[in-house]
Amino acid sequence: MRSPLARISPDDGGCGFAHDPSNPVGDEPTTWLPELSPGTLLLDAAPSGFAPVALEPSQLGSIVADRTDDEGREVVIVDGSGELHIRLNSDLAVRRPMILLPLGAASVDLRLDVASRFIRKVGGQTIGLLPRALRLTTQRKRRLVQLLHAFDIHDMGGGPRDVAEIVLRSEQAQLPSVEWKDSHARRAANRLIHDSIALVERGYLKFLRGG
């Protein structure tokens, strides 16, 4: 009989969660490095001689985060398409906004699309701030949750049967060894484990870039 996956408890001196449940979890969005995230729009102050339209972030959508660090200010705006991160490199960037688009940057086409949508949104057009490739759909959210759950099980010593039972909720996880070997659930569980490891080991960067 297969032994059940061991459960790690804080009472046993360890923790089976990625985040310590005794500590509160913030509701604010994650801050990504701008050079890695094409969903982060870079703004600076335009040179003298230009007369750009001043930016009012709240007109673009709901502001869910507004923070300042040594690199500048970052405002996170949410509309129906997802989260747009706006990185303001100076105090004047709100009053005299100029978009920065570094040549050779990763996913430059996506960055250009984001910039174009931003300009049209500021101009009053009804358009989503993020292109489709950067939108986190319900299906993609579900897939990510499955992958992270599968990785946690694998990281705690679980195998394909555990993933099939806990993540996929498949009754095939209870099949005898001979039948389990050729089952659809086993193949699906192995794919989840393989893809979850790839995601955690820097594969999330491809996902972040719309891949």
Q: Which domain holds residue 116?
A: 40-131
pTM of the model: 0.68
pLDDT of the chain along its 211 residues, tens only? 444 554 444 344 444 433 334 444 455 678 888 888 899 999 999 999 998 889 999 989 999 999 998 888 999 999 988 899 999 998 899 999 999 998 887 788 999 999 999 999 999 999 999 998 888 888 888 888 899 999 999 999 999 999 999 999 999 999 999 999 999 999 999 999 999 998 888 777 777 777 6
CB within 8 Å of 82: residues ≥ 6 apart: 39, 128, 129, 130, 134, 135, 136
Sign of CA dihedral 30, 36, 39, 44: positive
Instruction: List the structure tokens of 55.
Output: 């930016």
55/96 same-domain check: yes
pLDDT in tens, 85-140: 999 998 899 999 999 998 887 788 999 999 999 999 999 999 999 998 888 888 88
Domain boundary among 81, 114, 131: 131
Domain boundary among 91, 115, 131: 131
Domain boundary among 68, 96, 131: 131
114/78 same-domain check: yes
99/150 same-domain check: no
Q: Is residue 46 part of a domain?
A: yes
The CA-atom distances, in angstroms, between 157 and each of 22, 137, 149, 162, 185 are: 24, 31, 13, 10, 19
143/200 same-domain check: yes
